[in-house]
Amino acid sequence: GWGAAMAEAEGLLSVDYEVSGKVQGVFFRKYTQGEAKRLGLVGWVQNTSHGTVQGQIQGPTARVRELQEWLRKIGSPQSRISRAEFSNEKEIKALEHKEFQILK
């Protein structure tokens, strides 16, 4: 369909992220998953042992950019984001995840 053609024309992006600040214990992962699903993105999110939240996002470039912006500025209602870092950005031929998961 038309949607698939659009995604193809635009290309798929994969990017890793790590968000610092008050991001654990404030439903940050659940909200990130909800926002990713709303945008039609796949990947994962998890808490780290050093108090940050990290993960990977994959999907159409424009949608990935939207979630990056959300991770930088918004997050969950009670969160306080001090920094969002993105790395390993690359174009991919196909999505490597089936959905957007919260990893323990």
Give catalytic residues, as residue numbers. Answer: 29, 47
Phi, psi (rounded to 5 degrees) for 41: -100, 160
- Which residue carries 């999907």 as its tokens? 59
Question: How far apart are alpha carbons 60 and 82 in whole angstroms?
Answer: 26
Question: Using CA atoms in the order 63, 57, 20, 50, what is the torsion angle rounded to 10 degrees?
Answer: 170
Q: DSSP letters of 27-69?
A: SHHHHHHHHHHHHT-EEEEEE-TTS-EEEEEEEEHHHHHHHHH
